[in-house]
Amino acid sequence: MLTTESPVQRKGQDVVPVATCHPRKIWGLVRFQCFMVFHTPAGPDDICGMSMALLLAHCTTLQKLSCLYRHSRRLRSNAEDEERTRHSPRPTVAAVTGPTVAALFRGCTAPSRFLVAQSRRALNSSSPASLQRYLPPAGVQISNSLLLYDKPAMTSNLLAALKNHQGKGVTVTTHPLIEAAKNGSVDACQRALTEPKVKVDQKDSEGSCALMYAAEAGHMHVVKFLVEKGARVSAKDDTGETALMKACKSGHVDVIRFLIDAQLLQRKKSSSIMGSDSAKLLQIEKQRVLDVKDDEGVTALMKAAESDELEIARQLIEEGASLTLKDDHGWTVLMWAALAGNVDICDMLVKSYDAAADYVTERGESALMKAAANGHWEVCDFLLEEGAKVNQLDSEHQTALMWAAAMGHTAVVRGLLSRDAKVDLPSKGGKTALLLACAVGRDSIVADLLAARAKIEHQDADGQNGLFGAVQCGNKELVSLLIQHKCPLEAHTQRGETPLMFAAMNQQIDCVKVLCASSADVNAVDENGQRAIDHAEGTLNSKVVEVLRQAAKQASEKSS
């Protein structure tokens, strides 16, 4: 742990007086702490909390940005190089309750938006395994354009560290026109436009203008006023969203119709079709308006489908929005609807507009996988009825069943098993649905898979069976269940590590007790000659060490 106080020694921890450090050394410590935080899943409080806060408090804005940028690049790298499929919906934009860590990242507004976008893409591109390994449990939250980590243990330490920093150095820029648009007041908008330096298309720190906020809130009279004053309907925010897209997500039909016509009129005035009465040219121009994409290739129709706006989606299609367009990842409108569990929109797209239920992207992703990964059995059932393939493999040889198991969706797993999903198909890394369910500690799913005759002895490419995942999550009931079904206790990784060693390394004392009671070999050694007790001693957990010492003593007495 790091502190600004005088150096002392605590239980083997080096306590560094940050206030006396050279700036270059402080930055070196920050990078080390970032390595520990971002490379250790659910890292310990003394790494994730106070020390990180104090270190960053002594860093320049550029250094803070570098720290965040390194993290965002790592997220993207893991997403692309390890388990690449994108199934999870976009992270929820939510404020952090109580005081925040804004003081840490003050001055980073514009660049942090880029970092937020990078991290969001990384989250969307990650599979369950990579998310569990590299991200804090609650994932990334965004508040006031700042990249925050909403992790209870970490937050409590950060708040303690930043008690004296609250409200200092945080610059808040107000935009009178934007605030007036948010409140739905035309009079206030009119007054704001008379102020010096206020322009109708002025944007805030997130790249959003007054028209976007008014459209999102459904303030039709404000939308009309702003368009009359020259607001560009085609303007985009920092994520590439337009006012039309925001209105589609919020379900404001009248605003959507007005914006479509207004943008078409603006395009006519600035293009070669000005004054043209050609219906064909006008329809082409209208389709261009409807099919504008954001920075991730997502259209207004896709956003409406994701937001469960059935009537909006139908209206957009009837106006000419394309059903065949795909986003940057090859996703279709149907896949976005399936991802969010909007079965009525899925039904409309398939039955009324002939969307293909069995469509797969170049990476093998399907709408069924999206629905399964997010626990939407009703959508899965519908898609299977319409011809989706239950055992479709993606580019990593992952199936819908694997995704449902990895994300802990019991009802979906049971439903897919009833539809003849193959239980023992392995991914490229050798993971089966059983191993993925064990890794998240879901006993009910494991029981269902075992009832479907999943191979209990299966090991992945590293040599791990279900016990390895079960002990890492600390689920002693699951460990007992696997042992009852004869899961091999002495399976080992390519480095010679056993489930008992994993339990010792992760300080899972209950799992250690269950394994020892089941006669796991306490004297087995890995490739470095280390036993389970040696790994336990490395964690400084005396209770685990004592349990293993007693087990070794009993084993010695039995052998003699």
Per residue in 175-218, pLDDT (tens digit) is 899 999 999 999 999 999 999 889 999 999 889 999 999 999 99
Answer CATH for 456-560 from 3.30.460.10, 3.90.280.10, 1.25.40.20, 1.10.1040.10: 1.25.40.20
Q: Are 407 and 441 in contact (CB under 8 A)?
A: no
Note the pLDDT tens digit of each residue in 357-375.
999 999 999 999 999 999 9
CA distances from 293 to 206, 327, 526 (A): 18, 8, 53
Total count of residues recorded for the chain: 560
What is the distance between the alpha carbons of residues 406 and 440, in angstroms, rounded to a whole number?
7
411-417: long-range contacts (C-beta < 8 A, 24 or more apart)?
411/375, 411/377, 412/371, 412/372, 412/375, 412/376, 412/377, 412/380, 413/437, 413/445, 413/448, 413/449, 414/448, 415/377, 415/380, 415/381, 416/372, 416/380, 416/390, 417/448, 417/449, 417/452
pLDDT at 46 over 70: no
| pLDDT-based confidence at residue 356 (cuts at 50, 70, 90) | very high
Tell me what pLDDT residue 274 has. Answer: 52
Widest Cα–Cα separation across the chain: 101
Q: What is the mean pLDDT of residues 364-387?
A: 97
Q: How confident is the model at residue 264 (pLDDT cuts 50, 70, 90)?
A: confident
Q: Where are the domains of the chain?
A: 2-161, 173-323, 456-560
User: What Rg value do the Cα atoms of the chain yield, rounded?
Assistant: 28
- The predicted-structure confidence for 453-466, as pLDDT tens digits, reads as follows 999 999 999 999 99
Q: What is the dihedral of CA 546, 550, 551, 556, to 10 degrees?
A: 140
pLDDT at 277: 56
Q: Could you give the CA distance from residue 137 to residue 17 in angstroms, rounded to a whole number?
A: 31
**Fold match flag (173-323 vs 456-560):** yes
Model pTM?
Answer: 0.67
pLDDT at position 515 over 70: yes
Over residues 4-36, the pLDDT tens digits come to 333 333 333 333 333 334 444 444 444 444 444
DSSP H helices in 485-531? 499-505, 509-517
| CA dist., res. 255 & res. 278, Å (int) | 26
Q: Which of 144-148, 153-157, 423-427, 471-475 has the lowest mean pLDDT?
A: 144-148
Nearest to 20 by CA among 54, 46, 61: 54
**More reliable by pLDDT, 285 or 53:** 285
Q: Which residue has the higher pLDDT, 154 or 463?
A: 463
Chosen CATH of 173-323 out of 3.40.720.10, 3.40.1620.10, 1.25.40.20, 3.40.50.300 = 1.25.40.20
Question: Minimal CA–CA distance to 294: which of 340, 343, 256, 329?
Answer: 329
Question: Which residue pairs from 535-539 have beta carbons closer than 8 angstroms and sit at least 24 positions apart in sequence?
Answer: 535/501, 535/504, 535/505, 536/504, 536/505, 536/507, 536/512, 538/505, 539/504, 539/505, 539/507
Looking at the DSSP assignment, which residues form a beta bridge with residue 2? Answer: 16
Range name among 15-19, 232-236, 244-248, 543-547 with the lowest pLDDT average: 15-19
In the prediction, which pLDDT does 522 show?
94
pLDDT of 79 > 80? The answer is no
Provide the 10 A C-beta neighbour count for residue 8: 10
For the four alpha carbons of 92, 94, 97 and 98, in that order, the dihedral sign comes to positive
For residue 472, give the nearest of 435, 440, 434 by alpha carbon. Answer: 440
Residue 322 has pLDDT above 80, yes or no: yes
Percent of the chain with pLDDT strictly greater than 90: 57
